[in-house]
Amino acid sequence: MTRPLANDLYGRHRAVLPDWLALYYDEPIEITHGEGRHVWDAAGNRYLDFFGGILTTMTAHALPEVTKAVSEQAGRIIHSSTLYLNRPMVELAERIAALSGIPDARVFFTTSGTEANDTALMLATAYRGSNQILAMRNSYHGRSFSTVSITGNRGWSPTGLSPLQTLYVHGGVRNRGPYAGLTDERFIEACVADLEDLLGHTRTPAALIAEPVQGVGGFTAPPDGLYAAFREVLDRHGILWISDEVQTGWGRTGEHFWGWQAHGENGPPDILTFAKGIGNGMSIGGVVARADIMNCLDANSISTFGGSPVTMAAGLANLSYLLEHDLQGNARRVGGLLIERLRAIGAGVDSVREVRGRGLMIGIELIKPSTGQAAPGTASAVLEAAREGGLLIGKGGGHNTSVLRIAPPLSLTVAEAEEGAAILEQALRGA
Ligand code: PMP
């Protein structure tokens, strides 16, 4: 692996940006370009990208269709998403509304997942006249003032102050806590009983917000049907269900286009939020909600840049590409093979506690074999070793960050999956 000559950019980064702006790797990488599932750093090293630029590069790096749409739109007009009619925004909203599964859906675009969740919270609290929110333990929904206050893992909260009153519900994590080891059915019963109990001694919350598969929390998923079972209880109290699809949307989980569909028996969520991959790297977030909920605000607009024509052009081109090339099917097929391969590798490595995942959202949970406790040091060592081998992966799983996160662009090929698994095997065995 070639190192950059003098990594003075790192020194300058340190001098001018906040101390808490964390970077991966002992010697951070400057990514200069990408193509397909690969990126290159400033020293000319090529990496297979198993983290998709933190899930933002959903289809592929430098996808010609997206690049063309962005440059053509930038050549026409960049500004003005609000106050004037905006054709790409209307077209993308129509397509997302139709795909969302929410009847009579309205779409509002933001620039990030945080802002999308913030808007969803504003809608739910306004609609219900309550600032109480149900959220899941170990969840992550962003780091703005409102979204940190519904983020279950307090280790991710840069401040301890909360504008919302939040109650945390069991269910996001399967293999820790009081319900570990239960069958799917018993686990769901236990979580529903916990929710019922919580609602027995509180005033009425506005909404439950949940990630169908917890992303930053370490790619943990409840059994299918948990949120359908919750929905029955929520409906009795008139509480809204917000599905945070920032990581699970657009087919990443393979079996479903949205994560909520694994829990859809009792209908779709009332509000859905999305972000990350839809712009294939351009900053798009958004909220889809039933019209009566979306229209409950007394506002004219709440974002200047949300829906900007260039990002919308990227979103339209990207969405067309992923539907036409059935990347959801690819996530299911290639992701299925990759999970199997990683399970086989994990079976021979003592520090691997569990390999889990859906589609191309795969987590490898690491422990210290002697104690069975979380192993953040091992996770960091594997991350470094994988980079040495030419593979980028992510970390997660709360403040113990003991879970390796794998979320490549959805166009990953079988050969690339095998190549990445081989590098990971070496990294895991050496760590
Ligand atoms: N929700 C989830 C589930 C996320 O994973 C993230 C980002 N990691 C967010 C919300 C916040 O999105 P953003 O970083 O675009 O603000």
Q: Give me the pLDDT at residue 159, please.
A: 67
Percent of the chain with pLDDT over 90: 84
Residue 5 scores a pLDDT above 80: no
CA 353/CA 341 separation, integer angstroms: 15
**Alpha carbon of 358 to ligand 1 centroid (Å):** 18
**Alpha carbon of 147 to ligand 1 centroid (Å):** 10
**Domain covering 66-324, topology:** Aspartate Aminotransferase; domain 2 (3.40.640)
**Alpha carbon of 399 to ligand 1 centroid (Å):** 16
CA 142/CA 235 separation, integer angstroms: 26
Provide mean pLDDT across the span 254-267: 96
Q: Give me the pLDDT at residue 143, please.
A: 86
Q: Give me the pLDDT at residue 399, please.
A: 63
**Alpha carbon of 53 to ligand 1 centroid (Å):** 13
**Alpha carbon of 113 to ligand 1 centroid (Å):** 5
Q: Beta partners for 11?
A: none
CA 72/CA 373 separation, integer angstroms: 52
Backbone angles phi, psi at 405, to 5 degrees: -115, 130
Q: Which of 59, 41, 116 is nearest to 324 (CA)?
A: 59
User: Where is mean pLDDT largest: 51-60, 173-182, 385-394?
Assistant: 385-394
Backbone angles phi, psi at 95, to 5 degrees: -70, -40
Provide mean pLDDT across the span 356-379: 95
Q: Give me the pLDDT at residue 189, please.
A: 98
Q: Give me the pLDDT at residue 39, please.
A: 98
Atom of ligand 1 nearest to the CA of 113: 12
Q: What is the mean pLDDT of the chain?
A: 94
Pocket of ligand 1 (CB under 6 A): 112-114, 117, 140-142, 211, 215-216, 244, 246-247, 275, 285
Which of the four pLDDT bands, split at 50, 70 and 90, describes residue 349? very high
Atom of ligand 1 nearest to the CA of 54: 8
Atom of ligand 1 nearest to the CA of 214: 3
User: Where is mean pLDDT largest: 15-24, 74-83, 295-304?
Assistant: 15-24
Give the least confident one: 51-60, 128-137, 234-243: 51-60
Q: Give me the pLDDT at residue 323, please.
A: 98
Task: Give the start-to-end residue ranges of the domains of the chain.
Answer: 8-59+326-430, 66-324
| CA torsion through residues 366, 154, 224, 52, sign | negative
Q: Which of 70, 47, 198 is nearest to 136 (CA)?
A: 198
CA 219/CA 404 separation, integer angstroms: 9
Q: Give me the pLDDT at residue 421, please.
A: 98
Residue 148 scores a pLDDT above 60: yes
Which of the four pLDDT bands, split at 50, 70 and 90, describes residue 83? confident
Atom of ligand 1 nearest to the CA of 139: 3
Q: What is the pLDDT of residues 170-211, one digit of tens each?
A: 999 988 888 999 999 999 999 999 999 999 988 799 999 999
Between helix 327-347 and helix 414-430 the angle, nearest 10°, is: 30
Residue 4 scores a pLDDT above 60: no
Which of the four pLDDT bands, split at 50, 70 and 90, describes residue 79? confident
Q: Give me the pLDDT at residue 274, please.
A: 98
Q: Give me the pLDDT at residue 176, please.
A: 85
Provide mean pLDDT across the span 251-275: 97
- Tell me which of 214, 242, 246 to substitute to probe ligand 1's pocket, judged by most ligand atoms within 8 Å of the beta carbon: 246
Provide mean pLDDT across the span 227-251: 97
**Alpha carbon of 139 to ligand 1 centroid (Å):** 10
Q: In what order do the strands lie in the sheet with 285-290?
A: 105-110, 285-290, 271-274, 240-244, 207-210, 132-136, 165-169
Per-residue b or e along 72-109, where b marks 16 or more CB atoms closer than 10 Å to that residue's CB? ebeeeeeeebeeeebebbeebbebbbebbbbeebbbbb
Ligand 1, atom 14, lies closest to the CA of: 113
We find that the CATH architecture of domain 8-59+326-430 is Alpha-Beta Complex (3.90)
Q: What is the pLDDT of residues 107-127, one digit of tens each?
A: 999 999 999 999 999 999 999
- Tell me which of 51, 140, 287 to substitute to probe ligand 1's pocket, judged by most ligand atoms within 8 Å of the beta carbon: 140
Residue 399 token pair: 């403040």
Q: What is the pLDDT of residues 276-331, one digit of tens each?
A: 999 999 999 999 999 999 999 987 777 889 999 999 999 999 999 999 999 999 99
Backbone angles phi, psi at 305, to 5 degrees: -95, -15
**Alpha carbon of 304 to ligand 1 centroid (Å):** 20
Q: Which amino acid is at 10?
A: Y
Percent of the chain with pLDDT over 70: 97
Residue 357 scores a pLDDT above 90: yes
What's the whole-model pTM score? 0.96
CA 405/CA 188 separation, integer angstroms: 25
Contact at 8 Å (CB) between 364 and 404?
yes
**Alpha carbon of 153 to ligand 1 centroid (Å):** 14
Which of the four pLDDT bands, split at 50, 70 and 90, describes residue 403? very high
